[in-house]
Amino acid sequence: MRQIAPSILSANYIKISEIIKILEKKGVDLIHVDAIDGVFAPNIGFSPKFVKEIASITDIPLDIHLMFCNPLKFVTLYIDAGARMISAHIESLDLASAEKFLEIVEERGILKGFAIKPSTEIPEWLNNLLEKVDYIVPMSVEPGFSGQKFIPQILSRIENFNILRKKRGYHYLIEADGGVNKENIKSLIEKGVDIFVIGAGIFGSNDIEESLEYFKKIVKEDGDKFG
């Protein structure tokens, strides 16, 4: 079942509790929360305290995207805060630390993912861990900001992850993050995306509810026509 995950980096933070009520009313599947350390990517994202506060007002599962140079140092803080899914960037990991990351998250019983910058070549070690991972985030913008332009070359990377999981029987989901909009959503469905992170496409529109309805319809009802 394909899922919608609004990315609140581009939401109005002052109105966050009202916004979460709208997300609940519209039945979104996940809330995507960007945690950024200012060094891994040139912006600052949400703190564990903020995540905890969001988790205290909603039952919508929180998908935490760690854009940190040292994800192992912070992963537990975000799990304690209420993460239900958490991804770390492969650029901040090697085989040993990536295995450790999977072990820590697995032990806490939530979903574990790896995110990949568009400019990164996939390292050999990642192939050895794909059978253990719950989701993969082949990003379609350089990490850090909402509202950037989708990089179309990432479609073939997404397609390759889809082909690979079918061929090898892996269970990971594919999450699209970065520049997802009304123009590219059909090709993303077609290439095998399961989770659609959408920031500016929802919070940058004049009518948040209408945008949510649009994406929900295309992903959930019409999805099988393209996928």
In the complex, which residues of this chain contact ligand DX5 (CB under 6 A)? 7, 9-10, 32, 34, 65, 141, 143-148, 177-180, 197-201
Q: What does the alpha-carbon distance between residue 41 and residue 20 come to, in Å, rounded to a whole number?
A: 26
Question: At closest approach, how far in Å is the CB of 149 from ligand DX5?
Answer: 9
Q: Where are the beta strands (DSSP E) in 90-227?
A: 111-116, 135-138, 173-177, 195-198
**Straight-line distance from the first to the last Cα atom of the chain, in angstroms, rounded to the nearest whole number:** 11
85 and 64 in contact (C-beta within 8 Å)? yes
Q: Is 29 in the site for Zn ion (CB under 5 A)?
A: no
For ligand DX5, which is the closer residue by CB, 55 or 66? Answer: 66
Site string for Zn ion, 45-74 (x = CB under 5 A): --------------------x---------
Of the ranges 78-86, 175-183, 186-194, 213-221, which one interacts with Zn ion (CB under 5 A)? 175-183
Q: From ligand DX5, Zn ion, none, which one binds at residue 146 (CB under 5 to 8 Å depending on kind)?
A: ligand DX5
Using CB under 5 A as the binding rule, whether residue 34 contacts Zn ion is answered as yes
Least distance to ligand DX5, CB of residue 128, Å: 25
For residues 132 and 100, the answer to whether their CB atoms sit within 8 Å is: no
- Checking phi first, is residue 142 left (phi over 0); if not, alpha (psi -120 to 50) or beta? beta
Indicate if 37 belongs to the active site.
Answer: no
From residue 146, alpha-carbon distances to 10, 120, 134, 200 in Å are 6, 19, 24, 6
Name the binder of 192 from ligand DX5, Zn ion, none, CB < 5-8 A by kind. Answer: none
Closest CA to 158 of 196, 113, 192, 194: 192
137 binds, among Zn ion, ligand DX5, none (CB under 5 to 8 A by kind): none
User: Looking at 29, 37, 134, 177, which residue is catalytic?
Assistant: 177
Backbone φ and ψ for 12, nearest 5 degrees, come out as: -85, 110
Query: Which of 40/101 has CB closer to ligand DX5?
Result: 40
Say whether 177 is catalytic.
yes
